[in-house]
Amino acid sequence: MHFTFTPILASGKPAITNVSSNFKVVIKIAFGFMLTMLFLNYNATAQTGTGTVKGTVKTADGKSAEFVNIVLTNTKFGATAGQSGHFTIKNVPAGTYTVVASFIGLQSQTKKITVSAGETTTVGFVLTEGAKDLQEVYVKSARHNKFLKKETEDVARLPLKNLENPQVYSVVTSELMKEQIVTSYADGFKNIPGTGVPLVYNNGRTTLLSRGFVTGNFIRNSVAGYNFNSIDPADIEKIEAIKGPTGTLFNSSLASFGGLFNRVTKQPNETPRTEIAYQTGSFDLNRLTADVNMPLNKDKTVLFRVNAALHNEHSFQDAGFNRGFFVAPSITYIINDRLSVDVDAEIGNSNATSAYRLAPDIKGKTYNVKDLGIDYKRSFGNNSVDYLSRQIDLYSLINYKISDHWKSQTMFNKTFSTTKGMVTAFTLVDSSKQIKRQATQEDYPYYITNVQQNFIGDFKIGQFRNRIVAGLEYYNQKSNNTNVTVSTPAISYLDPGAAYNSFTADKVSALVAAAAPKPGDYVQNNQSSYAAYVSDVFNITERLNAMASIRIDRFVNKGAYTPADGKTTGNFSQTAWSPKFGLVYQVVKDQLSLFGNYMNGFNNVSATSFDNTPFKPQYANQWEAGVKVDAWDHKISSTISYYDISVTNTTMDDPAHPGFSTQAGTQLSKGIEAELIANPFNGFNIVAGFAYNNSKITAAAPGTGLQGLRPANSGPARLANLWMSYRITHGKVQGLGFGVGGNYGSDSYQTNTAAFKFTIPSYTTVDATVFYDQPKFRIGFKLDNLTNEKYWSFRLAPQNPTRGTLSMSIKF
């Protein structure tokens, strides 16, 4: 389906034009179904022989519990507790029922009730926190601010609240992604300050921005989850964006100097629950997902959960598609009150075409992507030029309580990720208004092994509390890259004619077969790192605590081995230290804190110098200060900070020796970040962020033309995000909700040197949704990019025009 939106004009003319008849049908069905549900709910009061069930839900501390699901088992009747903890279920046929109250993070509770015709039955629940579930502070905040899930042990590897942590981080919850009908993992990052437009690589892998640095998605459940392909969001419980150089507690090979993104997967819990969802919409989207959770024994010591997805979608352009299957089973075995084992897997297969990738002509006279005149909807590709990908990600976690003050945490991850087929890239020839189309026939498997052993303590020395983590980590990454790159004759990108269809799999395969073999057609890579680290949070007073951390890494790169000639290049070994310090003072206990930190991160450099001299590790040093707020009983959560990151030993292209690199640069990245997650009144939620980043090359090798300029891959200097939604929590239309928001990015560069600059213009996108959420079902409709804004990624890939998605799910 395709449709185009234009804004509402002052004259009052309709804002929607050129909407396909198919999409009009979808809209009518969606809203017709929603109105039918509302009508049935409203008129149900006319039924006879029924009664009403009312009640309240509280937690063990006596506070009201919001969003708790109330279900009469084996019936269609249920409700969701409002912010005051009250719920009402009307028109329940007379009889005896079992009522279950459940919420993630709380122990489920079951009660028997009898409903009499024309009468009201009252029942109350008091729910307590489960032994395996999230921290108490999260449970409390989730009752009021449903998109707030800041309390996590992943960031510091310690039981440390957000207000106690001197590091800045953002968390995107599965609840927020569900409300926004996120069908693509990258779309979840719209809610993280400073991430920008996703950069999609030829095999579906995505990176985004963090503090002006390109940052990958290589970490899953706090260890390596190196997925070289696209990531399906079906198994995502939350996305954690940890800001700044994070080399102390995380593998530096998988993070950038701006931070890292940790995807946390859904884990089994004690409440039986199944949700099946279907999404359909623009560009032939058809997506089916399932989330099944159940205990496997009566004692609820063996818990099972599986998430699965079938996805099929075409591009808005004339060619391009993505078809995939994904399944993620997980088991938790609670052996006793000291020992538990989690085992899970992510298994995926997909068939897709490459993401659009375009390079400008650095000798040309066109300096802005809008001025090229390229048709936004032309892919310049062909659906036969595609690739297959496969992912198998195995993960296990063993938690053992050594004593009341110490626990052991052992994590193991094994990943196989591969791409096999054809990936593409395009280059412009500005003088002749032509485009060169290039294809690479590749077989590129990755093999990853990651093992971590942590010992975590929480104890007092005298009156001073210490929370400490000490650990060891081993990481190994191997790859065997087979690739042959060929090009087809250039064609006009303004008027390509019949030659437009000449880029096919058969022609690419013929060119690959005719290409002269080279030693670099098959390359083996093998690199490992061995690390030890320790981090301690020391409470000087009840309100003042200090963090001190250090890590040592031994990095061994065996280099790139080409069996054809028996040569190995780029092999080296390096040792690097990474310290971190932080201070936090809670001005108002558990509500307002001031913090500051110094953080150090490093990257091992594997580039090649002209004289084969090994490069030193790149180091980044960050100084940061700010304020964190968690006030009004968790209704307002905010972080505002200023950071300054300086990078030494920066590598760049060697102008004197093309194809080689030189290490003669330094870089500065500084700026302001602000985030707000709020629930100012019942049912109304806000997620907002702003990021300003000032990056520049402060020293560069002569002849590079980079001195004093902003690195092109730093993205827009200003980025903003906003999402506001309102959900009716009482009355006959309880569960009906609306949401609106958008994203802004200032202009940026695809290339930025003294000799040539190529600009990507600023953009503003607007999204909106309407939904009806009930205990037994949910229906929602989302419009992305309402104004049909044309905007591009760093690789000059045109982004989706207006897109509609209808989502329907059943829950039981």
Q: What is the pLDDT of residues 661-685, one digit of tens each?
A: 888 789 999 999 999 999 999 899 9
Among 803, 808, 741, which residue's Cα sits nearest to residue 771? 808
Structure tokens at 347: 């298994």
Q: What is the mean pLDDT of the chain?
A: 89
Nearest to 477 by CA among 263, 222, 248, 218: 218
- Residue 33 pLDDT exceeds 60: no
What tokens appear for 56 in the block? 């309240």
- Residue 106 token pair: 């709380």
* Cα separations in angstroms, 400 against 136, 322, 341, 411: 21, 42, 9, 12
| Residue 73 confidence (pLDDT) above 80 | yes
**306-334 mean pLDDT:** 97
Length of the chain equals 812
CB 143 within 8 A of CB 56: no
**87, pLDDT greater than 90:** no
Burial of 672 (0-12, 13-18, 19+ CB in 10 A): middle
Summarize the confidence of residues 611-616 as an average pLDDT.
76
- Please list, in sequence order, all residues whose beta carbon lies within 8 angstroms of the beta carbon of residue 126, skipping any fewer than 6 positions away: 57, 58, 59, 60, 109
pLDDT tens by residue, 680-690? 998 999 999 99
DSSP conformation class of 506: H
- Residue 60 — pLDDT band, cuts 50, 70, 90? low
In this structure, how many other beta carbons lie within 10 angstroms of the beta carbon of residue 299? 8
pLDDT at site 248: 84
> What's the chain's Rg over C-alpha atoms?
28
The confidence band for 21, taking pLDDT boundaries of 50, 70 and 90, is very low
Hey, what amino acid is at 261? F
Measure CA of the first residue to CA of the last residue in the chain; give whole Å: 32
HEC letters along 731-772: CCCCCEEEEEEEEEECCEEEEECCCCEEEECCEEEEEEEEEE
Q: Where are the alpha helices (DSSP H) in 4-123?
A: 21-43
> Which CATH architecture describes the domain 273-811?
Beta Barrel (2.40)
Q: Which residue has the tokens 């198998």?
A: 392
CA distance 349 to 368: 37
Q: How confident is the model at residue 105 (pLDDT cuts 50, 70, 90)?
A: low
pLDDT above 90 covers a percentage of the chain that reads 72
- Does the pLDDT value for residue 118 go beyond 50? yes
The pLDDT of residue 62 is: 67
Sorted by where each begins, the domain ranges of the chain are 49-130, 136-265, 273-811
Which tens digits make up the pLDDT trace of 407-446? Answer: 999 999 999 999 999 999 999 999 999 999 999 999 999 9
Class of domain 49-130: mainly beta
Provide the CATH number for the domain formed by 136-265 in this structure: 2.170.130.10
Residue 19's pLDDT band (cuts 50, 70, 90): very low
Nearest-angstrom CA–CA distance, 752 and 755: 8
Lowest-confidence segment of 76-90, 286-300, 584-598, 627-641 by average pLDDT: 76-90
330 forms bridges with which residues in the sheet? Answer: 305, 344
Q: Exposed, middle or buried: residue 42 (CB in 10 Å: 0-12, 13-18, 19+)? A: exposed
Which residue type sits at 77? F
Strands (E), 317-385: 321-334, 339-353, 358-359
d(CA 204, CA 209) in angstroms, rounded, equals 17
